[in-house]
Amino acid sequence: MFVATYPSPLGTIVMESDGEVLTALRFGAEQVDMQSGNSGNGTIPHSMPTQAIAVFDEVRRWQDEYFSGKRTENAVMGTKKDGRISVRPKGTAFQQRVWHTLSTIPYGKTVSYGEIARMVGCKSAQAVGQAVGANPVALLIPCHRVIAAHGKIGGYEYGIEIKKRLLELEQR
């Protein structure tokens, strides 16, 4: 596993790759101790040189453009298409279905957990909420665009304030 960081306007973003594609993107180095995989002390370990990991450069460019309001497309799960970033998050078959569905939510739009549940053929919005919360690739698989019933913002793995700011960014 290769690890790199990106200094976003909302705080440090940690990127992970298997050397070919992005496998995770998370807000806050303090969220994960990359050596143990546990919530931890905020350290990012020294790993193999990341200069040779092309996906990190692609993701940095994507984030630069996203945070400046110029980039609106989501990532592609699996094989790279149309110059979009390819991601390979690890999860159950159900999580993969939910994450694939999240990747179809257009920039600037929101959908409810219940709508996602209907799209994936699940009767439980709560099960969908758990899968959404387990999304390891924030931003590129836009879990921040999923809201609670009646337009309430709902929860977010990285805090409601970051979710609000992301949604505001996309409304400009």
Residues labelled catalytic: 143
Tell me the C-alpha to C-alpha distance, in Å, between residue 157 and each of 19, 26, 38, 131, 151: 25, 9, 15, 11, 18
Contact between 50 and 4 under an 8 Å Cβ cutoff? The reply is yes
d(CA 72, CA 145): 13
SS3 68: coil
The phi and psi torsions of 49 (rounded to 5 degrees) equal: -55, 130
End-to-end distance of the chain based on CA atoms, in angstroms?
36
**Closest listed residue to residue 49, CA positions, set 3, 17, 8:** 3
